[in-house]
Amino acid sequence: MIDGEEIWDCALRMIYGGMFIVETEYLFVNLKWNQISETEDIKYREPIQIGIVAADEDLQKEKIFSKAIRLSDPTHINKGMLKLYRTTLENIMNANTKEDIFGRVVRTFPTYKYIVTWNREIYSLFKYTMKQCGFSMRRHTVIILQDILSIVASDGKRRIGFSQALEYADIEYEPNYLNYSKHDANYLYQLFKETYQQYSSMTSDDYRITNVKTKRMHASECHYARKMKIDHATIRPQSAIFIGFKMCQACASKLTWNQLKWDEKVILSKKEKEIAYLRQLPLTEEKMEKICKQFGVTYNISNDVVFIKTEFSSWIVYLRDGKVHKLYHENYRQSASAFFKMQKKKLTEGYHQQKLLSDHFYDVVQYIKYHDKGTVKRMEKKSRIERLFEKIEREKRENT
């Protein structure tokens, strides 16, 4: 079956005599698959989602393709896969067959030079399924981005996870969209483009002696480079590792490949990023409200003064130029029994000044919250002891 999009493409090709076709350089491919339970071999693996982003030689996006794929036998479904990909067996079985979907892939992307996948497993299944469905693939170069990033961003041994790589590359993504082929193919495209361009810029002056036959890049003093035939030798930028060229293992230590240095990067969690944002100046009223809500305190903001009330006491925070200038704490004396009845006995009217441990509003509200939380715990402990003594006194009176 040919859909409307394919008919339109075919019509334009006929009208313009083939001149309409834009030469696709890259296919960024993502697959999600079902693996029959308690098996590992690829022959027990079947794709259930495919996502492809096509880009030209300048890495400008041309086309996006994404489809669900019907499972050949519904009894083979692995329920763990359904949970991982947040889908249902009904959705999978309502899709078209892999023969139909991969036929569309062949017709939609007639030209390409590179196939980029995140890991070797995805590429192997893509190639295996194409062969299974009776389709031949154009001659192309395979690019496994995870392997490349292991070299240019780490020590060559560390296997960097996909979501972690997105974090390191500062690519914004929606966690709930991960494990959907449509979105993962797009994230893969962004990750490749960002890291390739960044690495190219960092190594713009670094050219390597390269064997065009083996596609190996060598240091000038490498003995393999010296023995290379003249007609096999060329010069390539070090960033050519992103388009299928490999580093020579014999001289790899003589060159600095790890330019991105992701191992030295500190990646903040979503919560840590939110805290970092709230602690940044300028300190807006919106930020102050978020901070107070985060720590569950009652607040009232009036110009450069913030009145804060916890379950135990009241505080006044004075601000100057977006930072905490002074902190005052309510004066009170509390007996355990009165505390649990929510009654206070004031020593004197007003507040006393509290020592500042930080001038960040976030840190001060955090201090207020846990200062009073600790007081509550101490009062609860004291109350248990008092109740024990009261019980002993009652028993004494009853026995006399």
pLDDT in tens, 245-269: 999 999 988 888 989 989 887 666 6
Q: Answer whether 0.75 is exceeded by the pTM.
A: no
Residues 65 and 140 in one domain: yes
| Residue 394 resides in a domain | no
Residue 88 has pLDDT above 60, yes or no: yes
Token pair 């669900």: residue? 68
pLDDT at position 20: 45
DSSP 8-class letter at 63: E
* Together in a domain, 79 and 199: yes
From 164, 188, 203, the end of a domain falls on 203
397 belongs to a structural domain: no
DSSP letter for 51, please.
E
Question: What's the confidence (pLDDT) of residue 390?
Answer: 59
Domain membership of residue 188 (yes or no) is: yes
**Judgement on whether residues 151 and 50 belong to the same structural domain of the protein:** yes
State how beta strands 305-309 and 298-302 pair: antiparallel
What is the pLDDT at residue 341? 46
The model's pLDDT over 39-83, given as tens digits with 9 standing for 90+, comes to 999 999 999 999 999 999 999 999 999 999 999 999 999 999 998
Question: Is there a contact between 23 and 76 (Cβ–Cβ < 8 Å)?
Answer: no
pLDDT level of residue 158 (50, 70, 90 thresholds)? confident
Q: In this structure, are 168 and 21 located in the same domain? A: yes
321-378: pLDDT as tens digits: 999 999 999 886 554 454 444 444 444 458 889 988 899 999 999 999 888 776 656 5
Domain encompassing residue 248: 206-266
Based on the fold, state whether residues 51 and 96 are members of the same structural domain.
yes
The answer to whether position 385 is within a domain reads: no
* 12 has pLDDT over 50: no
Looking at the fold, whether 147 and 197 belong to one and the same domain comes out as yes
Residue 162 and residue 180 in contact, taking contact as beta carbons nearer than 8 Å:
no
Residues 281 and 228 in one domain: no
Of 31, 30, 27, the residue nearest 62 (C-alpha): 27
Instruction: Say if 121 falls within a structural domain.
Output: yes
Dihedral angle of Cα 270, 275, 276, 282, to the nearest 10 degrees: 130
Domain boundary among 160, 186, 203: 203
pLDDT of residue 336: 46
Q: How far is CA 135 from the centre of its chain?
A: 35
Residues 152 and 43 occupy one common structural domain: yes
Average pLDDT value for residue range 160-165: 94
Hey, is 247 helix, strand or coil?
A: strand
Q: Label residue 220 by pLDDT band (50, 70, 90).
A: confident
What's the CA gap between 242 and 104, in Å, rounded?
28
Q: How many domains does one find in the chain? A: 3
Alpha-carbon distance of 241 to 8, in angstroms, equals 37
Answer yes or no: do 275 and 374 share one domain.
Answer: yes
Q: Is residue 390 domain-resident?
A: no
Q: Are residues 74 and 186 in the same domain?
A: yes
Q: Is residue 351 part of a domain?
A: yes
Are residues 236 and 291 part of one domain?
no
User: Is residue 42 in a domain?
Assistant: yes
106: CATH: 3.30.420.10
| DSSP state letter for 171 | -
Q: Which residue among 248, 266, 284 closes a domain?
A: 266
Q: Residue 332: its pLDDT value, please?
A: 66
How far is residue 148's CA from residue 191's CA, in Å, rounded to a whole number? Answer: 12
Same domain, 197 and 210: no
